[in-house]
Amino acid sequence: MKKKADKSVSDNLNAKNTDLLNNTAVQTGKEFLTTNHGVRISDDQNSLKAGERGPTLLEDFHFREKMTHFDHERIPERIVHARGSAAHGVFKVYEPMAKYTKAGFLNDTNRETPVFVRFSTVGGSRGSTDMARDVRGFAVKFYTEEGNFDLVGNNMPVFFIQDAMKFPDFVHAVKPEPNNEIPQASSAHDTFWDFISLAPESAHMIMWLMSDRAIPRSYRMMEGFGVHTFRFINQDGISSFVKFHWKPLLGMHSVTWDEAQNISGKDPDFHRRDLWEAIESGSFPEWELGVQIVAEADEHKFDFDLLDPTKLIPEEIVPVVKIGKMTLNRNPDSFFAETEQVAFHVGHIVPGIDFTNDPLMQGRLFSYTDTQLSRLGGPNFHEIPINRSIAPVNNNQRDGMHRQTINTGKVSYNPNSLASGCPFQAGKMDGGFSSYAEKIDAHKIRNRSKSFFDHFSQATLFFNSQTEPEKKHIIDALKFELGKVETIAIRQRMLYILQEIDPVLAQEVAKGLRLDIPKNIGLVNQLVPADIDPKSYQPVYPKELAITESPSLSIIQNMVNSLKTIATRKVAIIASDGANENSIMNVKKDLLSEGAVVHIIAPTDNYIIAENEAKIMVDKTLLTTASVLYDAVYVAGGAASIATLKNDGDAIHFLNEAFKHCKPIAASLDAKEILELTYFANKLSKDKGIVMESDLTVLSKQFIMAMSQHRFWERENYGKIPA
């Protein structure tokens, strides 16, 4: 009886609450947004700040409740960045940076600072594919002698939203839809594009996400960014603004979208395997740390706001100065203990580095600690070995779940006399951290600075800066993604936004969707609270930028000035029994001398027998591998081998697919008849990416030169390729 009575009371209370809500809905035609405790929310777009450009305030109960709930939604994997790979390494600065920062690891040229770096996808679960179209996390933990500094960034320099208040909404939208948990690790669905189409601040980031930056060839071949504008503080307390960049020494390279989808089926661990194998083989990945430094006095000289995380500083305006190099030289011993348990936090900084009032960064300062409490079981996650500081840790914190430190004595408070006042606060000369004394005099307000309201200029700049093949890839990506969206109204809103970015871009996407571009979609600007006149929300900066193109934003244009190397590129040598041994081994030797990774692939496993009866070991078979896992293909000579491969459909498909994905292809001249069976047979004498020679020395030289160009994108102009 008691259970029935309790249920009745509960039902009555719920019924009363439901009636109140329903009455409101009937009267207004709306359901009002509330906190978890029923308080109606007047602004769900902006965190409470000290002035429009000021810091986020801790008293913002709505933001804290919303973010806390979001941070604790899933256990134990990360809510975002669940799928990751990591490695140990070292960082060394080139020249002292004392003019700008007092950070010790950026001033001591003799110091090798240990680092642990975790790369990741953002949207998918731990079991998803490495090759999803997605942002890639690029988080670096510096174990400095002054404490841990975490540079928690991405492979893209901007983000989807401007205020952390919207982060739970963004992630909810991009994650699999909650009614059916579909699709996994994909943004190509209704809820994501519904959110994006109603949040024009995302326009710039969408251009990056739809570009080749979202499908990198390797973690080792992608840039990294700190995303936010940070501060450098020197010994005299003088502040400069700083943007952090990681520049890969191997250059930037991507895959095609068709290739990415195939790799997901052939080897969903492609990036993880690539990083692991490179380090195990001694081909240590390297990046240079670059900075863009802006004097405090120049904060407002740009046609965008430095505090806006949806904006970047074009390198043509403020060059990136390379100040040091990071080398990853050791794989983790335990994936779980290190890669899975490492806890990064944008709030882990050291003297000489400080925050700005970027409202996305301000929210992250709360969120990261909060989410680690959920993931790692309590407040002592800093004691897990991978998270421990190499600097001594002395404080009055005690107990809590999973405590490992055994503290002695009875003093756990400050001030005290029983421990002679120890541990002591550190003064400036003792390396004590002190926040930058930024002057703030403002009203508490939920608002966003008008300087954040130019949403399209940098999106246009990014698109204009791409080469023609890269523009085509963006258009095709948008047609693919929006083609998966079932709600026509969402597609139309996105076409309206694309029109604001670039009319040709919008027209090409609209053509693929068979839709007209709306002239007036009546977009709801979600940034404007209900009681504010939308007309007052106009950008304070002009739409026209100081520059109209930035070559540094293009992967292909970056390659023009990058090191032409084939180091660590994977080459497939296709051969069968009866192959010419010299045709295989001489070319293999030349490729290895340039740092390439070479696999001999045959119809059968273990070994093949060359025409001179030599036994040549086989690395993979045509059944167990695929062309999408290689950067280039070479077909060895030998009459019997050629006769076998001519009748092997897998071998012909291997070549067709490599051609489709614009990769270099080489063949011994006597193997030409195999290439003549492919659908690109009529391109053999015209295509610059196809090398055929009888002289193996000449062949190797030309093949290596072709590989150094990475891809031959002009093939995409040949029309649809069937492989």
Amino acid at the residue 581:
E
Which DSSP string corresponds to 530-567?
TTS-GGG---SS-SS-S-S--GGG-HHHHHHTS----T
Could you say which DSSP state residue 689 is in?
T
Contacts of 648 (CB under 8 A, 6+ apart): 576, 603, 622
Q: Would you give the end-to-end CA distance of the chain in angstroms?
A: 70
Amino acid at the residue 440:
I
Q: What are the tokens at 59?
A: 């008293």
Amino acid at the residue 426:
A
- Torsion, Cα 462 463 467 471, to 10 degrees, reads 140
Residue 27's H or E segment, with its range, is helix 2-28
- As a whole number of angstroms, the distance between CA 252 and CA 553 comes to 11
Active site residues: 81, 154
Task: Check: CB of residue 165 under 8 Å from CB of residue 47.
Answer: yes
Residue 717 exposed, middle or buried by CB count within 10 Å (0-12, 13-18, 19+): exposed
Distance from the Cα of residue 721 to its chain's centroid:
30
Q: How many residues does the chain have?
A: 723
CA distances in angstroms from 113 to 89, 391, 460, listed in the order given: 8, 12, 39
Helices 503-513 + 488-501 axis angle, to 10: 160
Task: Check: CB of residue 345 under 8 Å from CB of residue 150.
Answer: yes
Residue 231's H or E segment, with its range, is strand 230-233
Q: What are the tokens at 613?
A: 């009866």
Q: What SS3 class is residue 148?
A: strand
Task: Check: CB of residue 316 under 8 Å from CB of residue 547.
Answer: yes
Residue 406 exposed, middle or buried by CB count within 10 Å (0-12, 13-18, 19+): exposed
Q: Which position has the token pair 């060839």? A: 217
